[in-house]
Amino acid sequence: MFKDFTFSIIKPNAVRTGRIGPVLSMINEAGFEIAAMKMVRLTRFQAEEFYAVHRERSFYPGLIEFMTSGPVVVMVLKHDNAVEQYRKLMGPTDPTKAPKGTIRAEFGVNTQMNAVHGSDSVENAHKEANFFFSSFEVY
Ligand code: UDP
Ligand code: MG
């Protein structure tokens, strides 16, 4: 139905506080199709690889601690123009700047614990989906 997809993570703060269901509801209501999904606990190695582009940033060590602090839900989401549409549904990195009705406004705690990840480009969506899923796991 949709040819475009994005990759998303429901982050540990949202999983820990029972927000998997509410986040998935928002994703479904916004018209995304869940093409792959699983709950995993990231290893330090996986988290460091996944966020390697931020390696030199001051927030990187804290981000790795946070992302390995508990289970996460990783997903491939299909939608027309999925990357851009999902960034819009998430809202900006800082939840205090996120418009009402976005996932981060609803479930983000602060700039680090902002509830969800979403790919920032089509190229990264492919890379990130391949990092977590084999082609047999994506529908
Ligand atoms: N992050 C953080 N402090 C910052 C900026 C980012 O802890 O000052 C974390 C936050 O969890 C964010 C992730 O690092 O979602 C990746 O940062 P990016 O700039 O790529 O933001 P995003 O694309 O997730 O909005
Ligand atoms: Mg990003």
Asked if the model's pLDDT at residue 11 lies above 90, the reply is yes
For the segment 57-84, the average pLDDT, to the nearest whole number, is: 98
**Cα–Cα distance list, 82 to 17, 27, 47 (Å):** 27, 11, 23
pLDDT bucket at 12, cuts 50 / 70 / 90: very high
Asked if the model's pLDDT at residue 47 lies above 80, the reply is yes
Rounded distance from Cα 54 to ligand 1 centre (Å): 9
Residue keyed to tokens 């995993």: 40
**Fold entry, domain 5-137:** Alpha-Beta Plaits (3.30.70)
Rounded distance from Cα 87 to ligand 1 centre (Å): 13
Separation of alpha carbons 136 and 100, rounded Å = 37
Ligand 1 contacts CB of residue 114 (under 6 A): yes
Separation of alpha carbons 71 and 123, rounded Å = 26
For position 3, what pLDDT does the model report?
85
Q: Which residue's C-alpha comes closest to atom 2 of ligand 1?
A: 112
- 72 sits in which H/E element: strand 72-78
Asked if the model's pLDDT at residue 29 lies above 90, the reply is yes
Ligand 1 contacts CB of residue 69 (under 6 A): no
Q: How much is the mean pLDDT over the chain?
A: 97
pLDDT bucket at 122, cuts 50 / 70 / 90: very high
Asked if the model's pLDDT at residue 2 lies above 90, the reply is no
Asked if the model's pLDDT at residue 31 lies above 90, the reply is yes
For the segment 93-122, the average pLDDT, to the nearest whole number, is: 98
